[in-house]
Chain A
């Protein structure tokens, strides 16, 4: 998964001092991949509808009942296609992660949720009306008769109820009221919802009847999605866990309520360049093993020997109940791991210079990125933000790295002013400083931001107002 970063990095490091933009080609390739994925996603929806058009479906529009039926079928096809796209977006496919990043993929996933549900609901209602008109029944009686008389339809009714449950519990307002685990458990029902939806598509709908090429296309799409999920969400994590054999070696305090967890393992040379990217960790201790933690590496992997044996480190704060228990982890605890994920790495660089901005516990991936991302002396700016000096976690290490690599470091501490939305402390904000005050050549820089959501938004707005293009902005959400 990481080899592209590796091969890209070595020539870059050599050319970085030569002038010009060493990341231009990498950036062009990534943008192309992103655009290509967009085209594929749209085309898949069009293809789902084209299946039905190619079957002469448009002739259904000749009667009123046929019009409802036709629209219902189109809604169902498009809705199911969106559901499959959502599954793929959440499947952590390397091609999607490498092109747009895990965050952005999940953002699209979230955006598709409501449209997909509306299409599926419309599918049910329109077909009940359309079939009802053909059979001379009202929609409710038609729905009941479909349930009772047509095989596989009862599964479809269960499916739509599950989809409603999944989408409703994912609405921001609802989701905040429940613990993460509840949302997660309900979200797992998505798989049941999709599986119960599939039988009626092949048995009730004439479009996918046996002997049609449409049936083969639809089967291929469904099976392909299932295979991608099984491979990247089940198989790969197991392989990574077995291959790296991670165990907790040390838990050390790194400030008030913050601990660094060090793990030793094998074949860690394969993870080089993943400092700053995140993994899903499961600590296999009693009462802990089922709880997945998404944390970024706070340092580049260190390798000791020729066999790739070495050490990983994450730095975490007591955010939730699960995170608090991490401070009490015993050395020797085994660790299951998935990853690395995300684009908080050199793979997303597009410009010569780099600006790294972190706040609070968001400083830790900044620390790892500072260690591994290529830049010439004088071409990097690091800005750390905290309530006070002790809130600048790993501050000593960062100072050391800045001195060694020739980066400019700013410490911004103090409370933010009241009633003003700014990412700066009160005194700096009053003085009228902006992001450009710290890093003058914003247009020629990549800007990496990691910190609490509202704060990060303010940084990004500041950058956008300074004329920074969207492709130069790289940010990672870490509050769920």
Chain B
């Protein structure tokens, strides 16, 4: 009787583990597919790196006048981060307030970096240049958390907002990067 229990328990457990492992292998494949998309996002980071250096000079006299808010939103709408780099450098002369990029914050699930658009002393948009993307779960968590965080930040007009439950690491990195961007914008 004991033997019967041990044998069937071992078989059942092995079967369950095998089933889990098999479906996990699927996930790993799709995660590597996600990895390549994350790679493209990586090139975005180098773009923002140069934008950041450009920011140093232009940050000083950036806030002036009321923005043609249509301009800013179209600028952030284009997903290529090279565009933000150019808008960052041009912000000094134009009346659009400008875009400011926060530090890239490293977490165990990948790095996070955000960029804000400022107009008339107000945050008009928050864009995530890079989000936690270490694995499929992180991508999923980031995709869920980013829009929520964006709307919270736009409402609160600061980095002082609640973290998203189930995405605490992403949230805190997001808000840290955001704070750096706010500091750069002197907000």
- Chain A residues proximal to chain B, CB less than 8 Å: 31, 34-35, 38-39, 41-43, 45-47, 49-60, 65, 69, 131, 134-135, 149-152, 202-204, 206-212, 471
Please state if A43 and B168 are interface contacts (CB–CB under 8 Å). no
Please state if A42 and B166 are interface contacts (CB–CB under 8 Å). no
Please state if A43 and B165 are interface contacts (CB–CB under 8 Å). no
Among listed B47-55, B80-88, B112-120, B137-145, interface-contacting one: B137-145
Please state if B168 and A150 are interface contacts (CB–CB under 8 Å). yes
Please state if A59 and B169 are interface contacts (CB–CB under 8 Å). no
Interface size on B, residues (CB 8 A): 40
21 A-B interface contacts by CB (under 8 A):
A38-B6, A39-B5, A39-B12, A43-B16, A46-B17, A49-B17, A53-B21, A54-B27, A55-B24, A55-B27, A56-B24, A56-B27, A57-B24, A58-B25, A65-B108, A135-B108, A150-B172, A202-B165, A210-B166, A211-B144, A212-B137
Determine the residue in chain A with the shortest Cβ distance to B108: A134
A334 to chain B, nearest CB (A): 43
Q: Which of A35, A42, A53, A56 contacts B135 (CB 8 A)?
A: A56
Tell whether B167 is near chain A: CB-to-CB under 8 Å.
Answer: yes
Can you list, as one digit per residue, whether each of B8-42 has a CB less than 8 Å from chain A (1) or not (0)?
Answer: 11101110110111011111100100000000000
Please state if B12 and A43 are interface contacts (CB–CB under 8 Å). yes
Determine the residue in chain A with the shortest Cβ distance to B20: A50
Please report whether the interface of chain A is mostly helix, strand, loop or mixed according to DSSP: helix
A221 to chain B, nearest CB (A): 14
Please state if B169 and A54 are interface contacts (CB–CB under 8 Å). no
Please state if A46 and B24 are interface contacts (CB–CB under 8 Å). no
Assuming the contacts A42-B9, A210-B144, asked whether A35 and B106 have C-beta atoms less than 8 A apart, the reply is: no
Kindly list chain B residues whose C-beta atoms are within 8 Å of the C-beta of A60.
135
Please report whether the interface of chain B is mostly helix, strand, loop or mixed according to DSSP: helix
A475 to chain B, nearest CB (A): 18
Q: Which of A38, A43, A206 contacts B141 (CB 8 A)?
A: A206
Q: Which of A55, A69, A210 contacts B165 (CB 8 A)?
A: A210
Please state if A56 and B31 are interface contacts (CB–CB under 8 Å). yes
Kindly list chain B residues whose C-beta atoms are within 8 Å of the C-beta of A59.
24, 28, 31, 135
Please state if B144 and A38 are interface contacts (CB–CB under 8 Å). no
Kindly list chain A residues whose C-beta atoms are within 8 Å of the C-beta of B8.
35, 39
Kindly list chain A residues whose C-beta atoms are within 8 Å of the C-beta of B109.
206
Assuming the contacts A54-B23, A56-B31, A150-B168, asked whether A209 and B108 have C-beta atoms less than 8 A apart, the reply is: no
Please state if B165 and A203 are interface contacts (CB–CB under 8 Å). yes
Please state if B9 and A203 are interface contacts (CB–CB under 8 Å). no
Q: Which of A31, A150, A152, A206 contacts B137 (CB 8 A)?
A: A206
Assuming the contacts A42-B10, A56-B31, A150-B169, asked whether A49 and B20 have C-beta atoms less than 8 A apart, the reply is: yes
Kindly list chain B residues whose C-beta atoms are within 8 Å of the C-beta of A34.
1, 5
Kindly list chain B residues whose C-beta atoms are within 8 Å of the C-beta of A209.
137, 140-141, 144, 166-167
Kindly list chain B residues whose C-beta atoms are within 8 Å of the C-beta of A52.
20, 24
Please state if B5 and A135 are interface contacts (CB–CB under 8 Å). no
Tell whether B136 is near chain A: CB-to-CB under 8 Å.
Answer: yes
Tell whether B45 is near chain A: CB-to-CB under 8 Å.
Answer: no
Kindly list chain A residues whose C-beta atoms are within 8 Å of the C-beta of B107.
135
Please state if A151 and B20 are interface contacts (CB–CB under 8 Å). no
Kindly list chain B residues whose C-beta atoms are within 8 Å of the C-beta of A53.
17, 20-21, 23-24
Considering residues A34, A39, A45, which has the most beta carbons from chain B within 10 angstroms of its beta carbon? Answer: A39
Kindly list chain B residues whose C-beta atoms are within 8 Å of the C-beta of A55.
24, 27, 136-137
Assuming the contacts A56-B135, A58-B24, asked whether A42 and B12 have C-beta atoms less than 8 A apart, the reply is: yes
Kindly list chain B residues whose C-beta atoms are within 8 Å of the C-beta of A69.
108
CA distance A211 to B31 in the complex (A): 17
Please state if B20 and A203 are interface contacts (CB–CB under 8 Å). no
Tell whether B163 is near chain A: CB-to-CB under 8 Å.
Answer: yes
Determine the residue in chain B with the shortest Cβ distance to A135: B108
CA distance A55 to B10 in the complex (A): 22
Determine the residue in chain A with the shortest Cβ distance to B27: A56
Determine the residue in chain A with the shortest Cβ distance to B132: A206
Determine the residue in chain A with the shortest Cβ distance to B4: A35
Can you list, as one digit per residue, whether each of B135-157 has a CB less than 8 Å from chain A (1) or not (0)?
Answer: 11110110010000000000000
CA distance A131 to B165 in the complex (A): 20
Query: Which 4 residue pairs across A and B have the least CB separation, nearest first?
Result: A50-B20, A56-B27, A46-B13, A53-B20
CA distance A206 to B23 in the complex (A): 17
CA distance A202 to B16 in the complex (A): 23
Considering residues B108, B138, B144, B169, which has the most beta carbons from chain A within 10 angstroms of its beta carbon? Answer: B108
Kindly list chain B residues whose C-beta atoms are within 8 Å of the C-beta of A42.
9-10, 12-13
Please state if B13 and A43 are interface contacts (CB–CB under 8 Å). yes
Please state if B16 and A50 are interface contacts (CB–CB under 8 Å). yes
CA distance A31 to B167 in the complex (A): 47
CA distance A204 to B163 in the complex (A): 12
CA distance A463 to B165 in the complex (A): 59
Kindly list chain B residues whose C-beta atoms are within 8 Å of the C-beta of A45.
13
CA distance A152 to B107 in the complex (A): 18
Determine the residue in chain B with the shortest Cβ distance to A470: B2
Kindly list chain A residues whose C-beta atoms are within 8 Å of the C-beta of B19.
50, 54
CA distance A65 to B106 in the complex (A): 15
